[in-house]
Structure 1
Amino acid sequence: MALITIDYPPARTSAAVQMRDLAHEFQRQGHRPVVIVPDTKVEKPWRLEEANGVEILRVRAKPMRDIGHVRRTINERQVSYILARGIDASPFAREDWDIVVWYSPTIFFGPFIRKLKRRSGALAYLILRDIFPEWAVDLGVLRKGPAYWYFKRHALFQYKIADVIGVQTESNLVYLSDWCSRTNKRLEVLHNWQHPPVVGPCSIRIANTVLSGRTIFCYIGNMGLAQGMDVLVDLAARTCNRSDIGFLFVGRGSEVPALKRRISDLGLTNVLMFGEIPAEEIPGLLAQCHVGLLALHPNHKSHNIPGKFLSYLRAALPVLASVNAGTDLQCIIENEGVGRAFAGDALDDLYAALNILADDVSLRAEMSERCTALADRLFSPASTVRQIVGHLISGAVRPTCSP
């Protein structure tokens, strides 16, 4: 079987960690996964590696992170053809794939998936984690003009290639339900997943910083337009009179420079920012913290369960979240009792909840237990693999005719 993604370790994104965990679980359950990933650090056209019994085919590609929107679009648009050339030159040129699983974003894998399906008659499962370009319209990044319809065409093409599409939440079903009913596609909820972490050393030692001894509210991961991080800076500013509370922001993203300037302009001494750290250091970082922070831009209309939410659950950290209205994430946090979540412009509510979480150690302990239970019940790689394979090899799903 083939697993296709633009993110895989040593990349430090939550998607990379998820795809690593998925590949290892496929292998553990008796499959032979081959991860196919574009990589800017490969000097030759391709390089084959093995890690924990999983084969990884890295194909030389151009960067798709931390570059301008136009250049990123051009490079992502080429990724299918780059992977196709790479695999044709590799030992897998004549591989007879039975299952193809791919992770979106990006929306541009469609032509490559079609090539693999035509070659071997494989069944294909799309793990859809980004309803793009819809979210870009919600945030005002795109208007419904030529660029929108260009991206929409590529998104619809990958939907057409898939035999089964797995979205993050129940509410995401709405975006594709009409289309799937017309095309006889199988559409379902496939929750995110993550293995229980191994806590090891971390290069960030809070005890050696100005936040030593405080109750730490930690944010990890991407800091871009979609996250709406300003509300967390506002929360830190509101809390600056409490010397027992600290904020830690760790990650990368387009908004990092602006966030640093704002923290400096406000003179906040209760906030520390660090760049992205290796994925294997994240459990060691979260073990030093007390509450995990989440932020989603309030203008989002699509629903999303960020990978960092799973990291917090696995670290048994209660969650304090600022989310878009009506999101399934808010329902999960509140209904499962793993934290507090508020929609829209709710700084007063966030501040009140922050103070409760900071002061009530027994409440945090109760939430911690529920975090672990929820992660085991709903977000395990084992159940994810069984769900994917159960559909594709049961005979209930037939391969689509390649367009």
Structure 2
Amino acid sequence: MNILFLSIGRLNSILDKGIYSDLLREFRNQGHEVYIVTPLEKRTNKETSYFVEDDVHYLKVKIGNITKTNLIEKGVSTLRIETLFLKAIKKNMSNVKFDLILYSTPPITFEKVIRYIKNRDNAKSYLLLKDIFPQNAVDLKIFSETSIINKYFRYKEKKLYLNSDFIGCMSPANVKFIVKNNTFLKSEKIEVCPNSIEPLEIKYSYEKKKEIRKKFNIPLDKTIFIYGGNLGKPQGIDYLIECLETNRNNKDVYFIIAGSGTEYNKLNEFFVKNNINNAQLFKQLPKEEYEILANSCDVGLIFLDNRFTIPNFPSRLLSYMQASMPVLAATDINTDIGEIIEQGEFGYWCESKDVKDFNKKLLKFTDETDRNRMGSNARLYLENNYTAKHSYEIIMKHFT
């Protein structure tokens, strides 16, 4: 089969590690021809290019800036992506007949591209639903439910869903949400197709961990909790700060926060103003360096804003599970990530508005034997449920 994958994320190589590259590599390894269309932001000063590398076809399309820019430029650039992608596909892939179109949210603005390929090639379309927009923006009060902006994006969201032959959701709660709030869709085309990776074998000796912790000035005699990733409004940074503040005198634990985002400066200001001896804040580290740091820690942290009505399911969970780390998740009540973590016996959950409950759950990780048991469970759950092969088979069952 010829597979077309559309993404606004930078996918530089099929050999990189990540939820999309791992899945596409599985398609390639199974004998399919994979075509990847990704953006080149204007700031790179590079033109649209088409090439083949590692038996995969790449079309990198020059677009405006959509990251590290102001909201106006980001908005205009995002709206133009659809037209620019379509133009580049017509020019560079006119002689390829696609069997399957894969794409993810965000964004929700690929509908014209998908409709064109479906009509031209009689292809099937599969949406990997990773983000329920615009409802997530309404939840965080970025714009109101009655606003023209929300109505426009909701219109685009509905069109995308209708043009998708299948919708793969991250968890059962995601499926329920989409079915309940989009009654115009046939429920049988909505299914669980979770975030997944090709797991690496990660085992650090005590000496190796000691060496890494020494490099980053991290204590050896405390339980190390790490949060890595986006530091923005979806993570509920005020709650995270409150958790750090109430544990500033806790001599048994140590926190590592590593990442970047719109709320990084707020977090940094908290660290600067307060003499926190049991926590460190790192600006976003290079991926390899972050992985080395994360794999020397004891417990992975997940934070989500309490206001969410949509069931988010952060892919950050997979990197913790891959490293055989137990997980402490503080989230809203609508996601089922906490339920899955506790049912799989690889961590604990609390609602992200109750700091006392967070601190109670924190204490459950101070026993090393218990941590090791939960860490082993995390790795086993990953291998049994969240591998790229699982996602590949879920998608391909529609074509066999």
* Same fold flag (TM > 0.5): yes
Cα offset, 1:243, TM superposition: 4.0
Amino acid at match of 1:119: R
Cα offset, 1:35, TM superposition: 1.2
Report matched runs for 1:4-403 at 5 Å.
Answer: 4-10=6-12, 17-40=18-41, 41=44, 43-51=46-54, 53-90=55-92, 92-144=93-145, 145-177=147-179, 182-184=184-186, 186-197=189-200, 205-213=212-220, 214-357=222-365, 359-391=366-398, 393-394=399-400
Distance 2:262 2:270 in 1: 14
Cα offset, 1:157, TM superposition: 1.3
Cα offset, 1:2, TM superposition: 0.6
Distance 2:232 2:336 in 1: 21
Cα offset, 1:225, TM superposition: 0.5
Distance 1:156 1:96 in 2: 26
Between 119-128 and 270-279, the greater mean CA deviation after superposition: 270-279
Task: Classify 1:326/1:104 alpha carbon distance in 2 versus 1 (closer, same or farther; 3 Å).
Answer: closer
* Counterpart contact for 1:223–1:251, Cα < 8 Å: yes
Q: What is the CA deviation profile of residues 248-277 of structure 1, one whole-angstrom value per residue up to 9, with x for unaligned ones?
A: 111221111111112222222322222323
| Structure showing greater relative contact order (alpha-carbon pairs closer than 8 Å, 6 or more residues apart) | 1
Distance 1:368 1:274 in 2: 24
Amino acid at match of 2:122: G
Amino acid at match of 1:174: K
Partner-residue secondary structure (3-state), 1:33: strand
Between 259-268 and 159-168, the greater mean CA deviation after superposition: 259-268
Amino acid at match of 2:271: I
Task: Classify 1:280/1:32 alpha carbon distance in 2 versus 1 (closer, same or farther; 3 Å).
Answer: farther
Structure 2 unmatched ranges of 5 or more: none
TM-score by length of 2: 0.90
Count of residues in Structure 1 that have an aligned counterpart in Structure 2? 386
Alpha-carbon RMSD across the aligned residues, in angstroms, is 2.3
Cα offset, 1:42, TM superposition: 6.1
Structure 1 unmatched ranges of 5 or more: 395-403
Partner-residue secondary structure (3-state), 1:221: strand
Cα offset, 1:183, TM superposition: 4.3
Distance 1:22 1:148 in 2: 32
Amino acid at match of 2:152: Y
Large movers: runs of 4+ above 3 Å:
8-11, 178-185, 198-202, 277-283
* Counterpart contact for 2:63–2:84, Cα < 8 Å: yes
Between 182-191 and 379-388, the greater mean CA deviation after superposition: 182-191
Distance 1:333 1:258 in 2: 29
Amino acid at match of 1:211: I
Cα offset, 1:137, TM superposition: 1.2
Task: Classify 1:330/1:72 alpha carbon distance in 2 versus 1 (closer, same or farther; 3 Å).
Answer: same
Q: What is the CA deviation profile of residues 149-190 of structure 1, one whole-angstrom value per residue up to 9, with x for unaligned ones?
A: 011111111111110011112222233325766444611111
* Counterpart contact for 1:8–1:17, Cα < 8 Å: no
Between 276-285 and 376-385, the greater mean CA deviation after superposition: 276-285
Q: What is the CA deviation profile of residues 345-386 of structure 1, one whole-angstrom value per residue up to 9, with x for unaligned ones?
A: 2211111221231x2000101001100111011111001011
Amino acid at match of 2:194: H
Task: Classify 1:343/1:248 alpha carbon distance in 2 versus 1 (closer, same or farther; 3 Å).
Answer: same
Cα offset, 1:282, TM superposition: 4.3
Task: Classify 1:245/1:178 alpha carbon distance in 2 versus 1 (closer, same or farther; 3 Å).
Answer: closer
Amino acid at match of 2:169: V
* Counterpart contact for 1:168–1:303, Cα < 8 Å: no
Distance 2:151 2:368 in 1: 51
Task: Classify 1:280/1:29 alpha carbon distance in 2 versus 1 (closer, same or farther; 3 Å).
Answer: farther
% identical aligned pairs: 25
Distance 1:240 1:49 in 2: 52
Cα offset, 1:286, TM superposition: 2.0
* Counterpart contact for 2:40–2:46, Cα < 8 Å: no
Amino acid at match of 1:136: A
Partner-residue secondary structure (3-state), 1:316: coil
TM-score by length of 1: 0.89
